Structure 1
Amino acid sequence: MLRVDIFKQLGNFSLEVAFTTEGRVTGLFGSSGAGKTSLVSIIAGLVTPDRGVIAIDKAVLYDRSKHIDLPAYRRRIGYVFQDARLFPHLSVAQNLDYGRRMNFLNRDDADEKRITDMLDIGHLLERRPGGLSGGERQRVALGRALLAKPRLLLLDEPMGALDDARKAEIMPYLIRLRDEGDVPMVLVSHDADEMRQLATNVVLLKGGRVVGHGGTDVLPKWVVPAA
């Protein structure tokens, strides 16, 4: 269960968001400027709210009233950005291993095989990111995040930088990750069709506030244009 109840003043923009979710994939949906990326940055520990509480199951990540504020590296949260952010000088295998090493985790060969099989990236291990398609890079980024054994995975517009063909390529893997993976996810998107395919529940954001929360039926019929 993810519980978020925070307030953050960001210049002239304020973010005041409260929701609790037990969904496999919680979608954060809204137009550009709604506060989606600011919110996931706060959950990840990259931005500190002015007040509030953030908790995953019984683990409190942030509670201003109790002076709890775990740094990002202790939150065990995976973060996949729109542009993958792989290390170009490392092979795919070395990129995948980075999260494990940075978190001082023992190698788990069975888990590595399960994740590389699920994302179909085992044949890419010796290649460098520069030789991969956009969809392949995103699958490697997902694998790297998962191999760090997170308790929550944040996906910030994971298909936002892909063309339609690459989106069609990666969508089945995201669906498979939702259905076969064991890590709850928060998905940021402005694409209602994408949300309907992936999310199990949705938080609608507008102007830094929650304006709807429920199943995918709360999504508007229109599609928010990209920024």
Structure 2
Amino acid sequence: MLEVSVRHVFRSFSVDVAFRAPPGVTVLFGRSGSGKTTIINAVAGLLMPDAGRIASGDWTLLDTRRGIRLKPHRRRLGYIFQEGRLFPHLTVRQNLAYGAWFAPKGAPREDMGRVVDLLGIGHLLDRRPGALSGGEKQRVAIGRALLSAPRLILADEPLAALDEARKAEILPFLERLRDEVNVPILYVSHSATEVARLATTVVALDAGRVIREGPAAEVLGDPAVLPAGAREAGAILTATVAAHHDDGLSELDAGGISLFVPRVSQTPGTAMRVRIAAHDVILSRGRPDGLSALNILPGVVSEIRSGAGPGAIVAVDTGAGRLLARITQRSARALALAPGTEAHAIVKTVSVAPSDIGGGETTAVLS
């Protein structure tokens, strides 16, 4: 369990946060300027905060009260930046070996062959970085970090510099990293899609403060917590692949309720995480007839949050899990929505893009 407590005052901004990061991927989630990079740099030792404590069990990186301030090179961290930052004169194999060279003697090490296989970079080993795509460079950078035998991996918006095609290419490898590598990951992002795909735990930030922390489904499903803004609001459902149909659709089972999405490659029985964007959910008081939408989930309104403008976020608890709907306040009044009101959440199937669907412990994103 990584414990982080950091206080630091800049000229026009201050950070005062405390959170615990359990095993898995802990995502620092918030808009630009919310303090995400300040925190990760404090953990890395690239920023010395005014006060704080950063520790995992008996391994203490920082404790200002006790005068403990480990230098960055002694913190046993793997850092993945927005750009790969590979050595251009070295081959991929040599870049990976450079990471392994920094592994402390006697420390548990990842096998290079396993890392190469995990990241799908075997065919790249003799190339230099100049001949790699952005996504390939990031996969090599991840491999280099893994081979340094880190006790913690830090990832500072590692997909921010990539286009959508490259992001779709690398997300499955990050999912495998989460599921198959026994190293905690502290991950910075302002993308709701990345958070839903990867996060085990979410620490939501705003103006240098923690506004909510907990399991990804709970934090993203809270209409009072919108760290990336109302336009990025959405909830996560847990489902399994039930069947594949001849018309190109896959049927998922979410708490006994069928969800239809464009065909996924996973076999029946595979666990999925499904993020449904709030702006793609339509609400109806009664079960609608004559609609083209295949996903109609009955539920009960649990909470309504109105914004400063004309919009509102409505939380609906269904048998499949909680959904969020972004509608106008006028619509909420016209439907007489209130906590305890029965409602049906309607989601179009074809809004799912192939790049939004992951594998393994997966998240499919309806957006």
TM bracket (short chain): over 0.9
Tell me if the contact between 2:110 and 2:147 (Cα under 8 Å) persists in the aligned partners: no
Match of 1:222 among 214, 231, 244: 231
Q: Deviations over 1:143-178 (max 9, x none)?
A: 000000101001111111111110110010000010
Q: 1:105 to 1:128 in 2, by over 3 A?
A: farther
Please report the TM-score for the alignment, with normalisation by the length of structure 1.
0.94
Q: Write the distance in 2 (CA, Å) between the matches of 1:22 and 1:108.
A: 20
| 1:143 aligned partner | 143
> Aligned residue pairs: how many?
224
Q: 1:104 to 1:213 in 2, by over 3 A?
A: closer
Q: Write the distance in 2 (CA, Å) between the matches of 1:147 and 1:110.
A: 6
Tell me if the contact between 1:15 and 1:208 (Cα under 8 Å) persists in the aligned partners: yes
- Partner secondary structure for residue 66 of structure 1: coil
Q: 1:108 to 1:53 in 2, by over 3 A?
A: closer
How far off its partner does 1:122 sit?
A: 1.6
- Is 2:125 the counterpart of 1:125? yes
Give the RMSD, CA atoms, in angstroms: 1.8
| 2:315 aligned partner | none
Q: Choose between structure 1 and 2 for higher RCO, CA contacts under 8 A separated by at least 6 residues.
A: 1
Q: 1:106 to 1:100 in 2, by over 3 A?
A: farther
Q: Gapped runs of 5+ residues in structure 2?
A: 221-225, 234-367
% of aligned pairs identical?
53
Q: Write the distance in 2 (CA, Å) between the matches of 1:96 and 1:26.
A: 25
How far off its partner does 1:222 sit?
A: 3.4
Aligned residue runs from structure 1 range 193-212, under 5 A: 193-212=193-212
Q: Write the distance in 2 (CA, Å) between the matches of 1:104 and 1:126.
A: 26
Q: Write the distance in 1 (CA, Å) between the matches of 2:231 and 2:53.
A: 33
Q: Gapped runs of 5+ residues in structure 1?
A: none
- Is 2:41 the counterpart of 1:41? yes
Q: Write the distance in 2 (CA, Å) between the matches of 1:192 and 1:88.
A: 33
Please report the TM-score for the alignment, with normalisation by the length of structure 2.
0.59
Q: Write the distance in 1 (CA, Å) between the matches of 2:110 and 2:78.
A: 20
- Aligned AA (2:154): L
Tell me if the contact between 1:100 and 1:106 (Cα under 8 Å) persists in the aligned partners: no
Runs of 4+ in 1 over 6 A off after TM superposition: 106-110
Q: Write the distance in 2 (CA, Å) between the matches of 1:107 and 1:198.
A: 27
| 1:57 aligned partner | 57
- Is 2:163 the counterpart of 1:154? no
| 1:99 aligned partner | 99
| 1:31 aligned partner | 31
- Aligned AA (1:66): R
- Partner secondary structure for residue 183 of structure 1: coil
- Is 2:168 the counterpart of 1:168? yes
Q: Which has the higher helix share?
A: 1
Q: 1:28 to 1:126 in 2, by over 3 A?
A: same
